[in-house]
Amino acid sequence: MSISRRQFLRIAVVSAASASLGATASQAATESADIDPSGATGAPKISRVRFPQSVASGDPKPTSLILWTRVRSDSGADVSLRLQVAKDAAFAKLVVDTELLASAEHDHCLKVKVVDLAPYTNYRYRFLYGSKTPVSSPVGRARTAPLADADVPVRFGVVVCQDYIDGYYNAYALMQNRDPNLDFIVHLGDYIYEYDHGTGGEGDDIAARAIRFPDQSPGAWVKANWEQGGKDSKAARSLENYRHLYRVHHGDRMLQRIHERIPMLLIWDDHEFSDDCYGASGTYSNGRIKEYDPERRRNAQQAFFEYLPVDEDFADGIDDTQALDPPLNDTYRSTAKPGRGCWRTLRFGRHLEMFLADYRTYRPDHLIPEDAFPGQVVLDKAALIALFEAQYPGQGAAIYAAQSGSFSAYTALSSLPAGYADHAAAYTQVLMGVLTQVYLAEGLTATKAQAKATRDLSGPIAVRWFNGLLAQYNATVPPAQQLPPIDSATESKLERGLDYTLLGKTSFFSSVGARYGVVKATYDLLAAARYKGRPEKVLGAQQQAALDRFIATSDASFLCLASSVSTASLVWDLTEVDEFAPIGFNQRFLANVDHWDGFPTRRQAILSALQERGKTFVVSGDIHASFLTQWRPDPGNLNAVADFTATSISSTVFNRFVELTVEALSDLLNTPEMQAKARELLVDGLDDTLKSGFANVYPHSELRYALTRENGYAVIAVNADQVQATYRTFPHAQAKTPASNTGAGLTVTTARFRFDGREITAI
């Protein structure tokens, strides 16, 4: 699907070489709720009703800024606006004074790239509506970046995940009070959440911040919750509904105050399109339906570029017509440019260059399908021996023999063991019938349920699932009609392999055991077999090549990789917990493989390249928790890579997600001892559990800081010699009511660290 740039908001380019309309209306603006243009006199007054989303700036470069606004049109027609940019608050020293058009085609959004500005210079800007007695937008402030050789420190904020219906943006009030003079803010995604009127949010929704889509027609939204007993929720699909989400989020006054004062660098994560997405595919149904929807993705990205101050001039010499990689999505094109996402690089003086990565557009599907039949054997005996042989030449068969007891005995309907093969037709009919009924109960149509059951039973099946499905049938018929299960003596003689149950996939159509809570040891085996030891194609060929060049050629003192998701490995190491042994939970689990834990080989390759270069760090988010990771992939190299992971602005915190998961597993954690131990390790002691689990897996690296219960943000300061990070957070409960404009009354936790390229130390 090729997308023409003509379908998207064109950035108007304006030069600051001259102020073309002169210095009229140059008085400082004054605030007013709304103004009737026919009655205004004197200085232009600020009208937040005329400019309901205020103003914003972004992507500062030494000689340019992106400026943005949206104007309300009384008639719905195009609106003529006047942009003024000045070096002073009174707008007496104008460098731009020009007329521009906010078109109805793009929801009256106007995005302007002002060029020929002076480096490292503060500017004021505003948009004027009306000619004789104009009213003004709120006045914005922005500073251009320093020149590439300027010896100046850089200080920037890191924010992520601002679910509007889940919490107030009190973190921005705190930032405005504690950190008002940042050079810029990096927003790592989830600027909007794609849900309707509070039904699909990720936490305890706030009724006063409910959102309802203006377009409720069929095809304008998609079903966002398929779980039985869950919320009847909707997610945006149409362009109008995505635009509405930006209008609402952009209308928050806390957020507006930040946009009016500090430029932002923005990338998307998943919620700008669809939760846990990959390419143009969503994951709401957990495999019940196919969610590949390039039109929906196009709408999401069009709204992103219309409503946010993102520079679309990604001129870096890369062929932007190349098809997406991997082939799973090769008919889809990014909507900023064909074949491009939102990735780009920006330089801030001598000491910092940043690569803003696009993790979602080019990545493949999650390794474990959400709709996987748990009893399906994905690596049989031959595949396991081949894998071990590739890893340890000459030892494959011996390793398999030594480890076979940890795998599942399996059979197949086409090759049942002796004593059962004579009844193959009966077994096939029974198991097909039972599994088809399971899929019908999960919402599949009769045709799709039968087709899926046929596929799932066509290959090797773990004996435990063969017998389990058979038991469901036998429980419904008289003894004379029952079929015998495979007995233990026969089972002990069968070959053994890796089925999805051993990966943690114990239920049908579920994200648990697919995207969350997977068994680390078996996941690593499956990843090694699928990717054959090669780094996974996460970023796509073009972006990966650009990142490689960035690491190899930048001469900045420090390099920063901005990733929407964290590189921190979140390991629940329960191997020594005896209480979990009866249900097989005494293993190491990866909490979230939608993150970089899902692509361990590519993560290792990127971190190794960053370590080899030296003086490199990552800023990341999405996980709704604060982490600080010190990576040293090569223990013999004194260089390290720091990952500063910022928590969410308002979204439900990671600790609460884990708590809800533990509560949902109450049927499995079926004794008081198990439930108490699960709460002790995974809720009350989650931070320490994550740090110890990380240490057990990565002895030469360290999860230095973990705080999973609080909202907030991070601030990064960079000079020639070091990076300093400050985490400012407060309890999630304090995001449920609006704070003052200064954040007064918040119970703030502050943590500070220093990183010199080799070691992280607490300050």
Tell me the per-residue pLDDT of 586-602, one tens digit each, with 9 for 90 and over: 999 999 999 999 999 99
- Of 41 and 557, the structure prediction assigns the larger pLDDT to 557
Range among 226-230, 405-409, 740-744 rated most confident: 405-409
Lookup: tokens for 257: 């105050």
515 domain residue, yes or no: no
Based on the domain organization, do 574 and 717 belong to the same domain?
yes
Based on the domain organization, do 480 and 563 belong to the same domain?
no
Based on the domain organization, do 690 and 550 belong to the same domain?
yes
Please give the Cα distance from 84 to 713 (Å, whole number): 32
Q: Tokens 């251009």 belong to which residue?
A: 144
Domain boundary among 87, 115, 143: 143
> What pLDDT is attached to residue 420?
96
Look at 226-230, 487-491, 581-585 and tell me which has the smallest mean pLDDT.
Answer: 226-230
Mean pLDDT (whole number) for 671-695: 95
Average pLDDT value for the chain = 91
Q: What is the CATH number of the domain that holds 748?
A: 3.60.21.70
Q: In the chain, how many domains are there?
A: 3
Q: Is the pLDDT of residue 719 over 50?
A: yes
Q: What is the 3-state secondary structure (H, E, C) of 383-415?
A: HHHHHHHHHCCCCHHHHHHHHHHHCEEEECCCC
> What pLDDT is attached to residue 206?
86
> What pLDDT is attached to residue 726?
98
89 domain residue, yes or no: yes
Of 162, 439, 431, the C-alpha closest to 285 is 439
Look at 49-58, 106-115, 551-560, 573-582 and tell me which has the smallest mean pLDDT.
Answer: 573-582
528 domain residue, yes or no: no
Based on the domain organization, do 132 and 184 belong to the same domain?
no
359 domain residue, yes or no: yes
Domain boundary among 458, 492, 507: 507
Q: Measure Cα distances from 737 to 9, 106, 159, 431, 653 in Å.
A: 36, 34, 20, 53, 16
> What pLDDT is attached to residue 315?
40
Q: Is the pLDDT of residue 36 over 70?
A: no
580 domain residue, yes or no: yes
Instruction: Indicate the Cα dihedral angle 295, 298, 299, 301, nearest 10°.
Output: 160
> What pLDDT is attached to residue 670?
86
> What pLDDT is attached to residue 18?
56
**pLDDT tier, 9 (very low <50, low <70, confident <90, very high otherwise):** low
Mean pLDDT (whole number) for 167-187: 96
Q: Is the pLDDT of residue 252 over 60?
A: yes
Based on the domain organization, do 112 and 192 belong to the same domain?
no
Please give the Cα distance from 3 to 444 (Å, whole number): 33
512 domain residue, yes or no: no
Give the torsion sign (CA, 142, 148, 151, 155). positive
Q: What is the CATH number of the domain that holds 36?
A: 2.60.40.380
Tens digit of pLDDT for each residue in 294-340?
999 999 999 999 999 999 875 433 333 333 333 323 323 333 333 45
Mean pLDDT (whole number) for 502-518: 95
> What pLDDT is attached to residue 67?
98
Share of the chain above pLDDT 70, in %: 90
User: What are the φ and ψ backbone dihedral angles of 6, each rounded to 5 degrees?
Assistant: -65, -20
Identify the domain containing residue 103 by its residue range.
Answer: 5-143
Q: At what angle do helices 686-697 and 654-664 cross, to 10 degrees?
A: 90
Mean pLDDT (whole number) for 337-361: 88
Look at 213-227, 641-655, 683-697 and tell me which has the smallest mean pLDDT.
Answer: 213-227
> What pLDDT is attached to residue 622?
97
Based on the domain organization, do 102 and 40 belong to the same domain?
yes
DSSP 627: E
**pLDDT tier, 127 (very low <50, low <70, confident <90, very high otherwise):** very high
List, in order, residues 6 or more apart from 221 with CB less than 8 Å away: 196, 213, 215, 234, 235, 236, 237, 238, 241
Peptide bond into 635 cis (omega under 30): no
Based on the domain organization, do 561 and 677 belong to the same domain?
yes
Share of the chain above pLDDT 90, in %: 84
Tens digit of pLDDT for each residue in 453-483?
999 999 999 999 999 999 999 999 999 999 9
Based on the domain organization, do 396 and 447 belong to the same domain?
yes
Based on the domain organization, do 553 and 635 belong to the same domain?
yes
> What pLDDT is attached to residue 43?
76
101 domain residue, yes or no: yes
Based on the domain organization, do 107 and 217 belong to the same domain?
no
Based on the domain organization, do 338 and 414 belong to the same domain?
no
Mean pLDDT (whole number) for 688-703: 97
- Of 43 and 458, the structure prediction assigns the larger pLDDT to 458
Domain boundary among 507, 525, 559: 507
With H, G, I as helix, E, B as strand and everything else as coil, classify residue 619.
strand
Mean pLDDT (whole number) for 260-267: 98
123 domain residue, yes or no: yes
- Of 9 and 283, the structure prediction assigns the larger pLDDT to 283
Based on the domain organization, do 219 and 336 belong to the same domain?
yes
> What pLDDT is attached to residue 369?
97
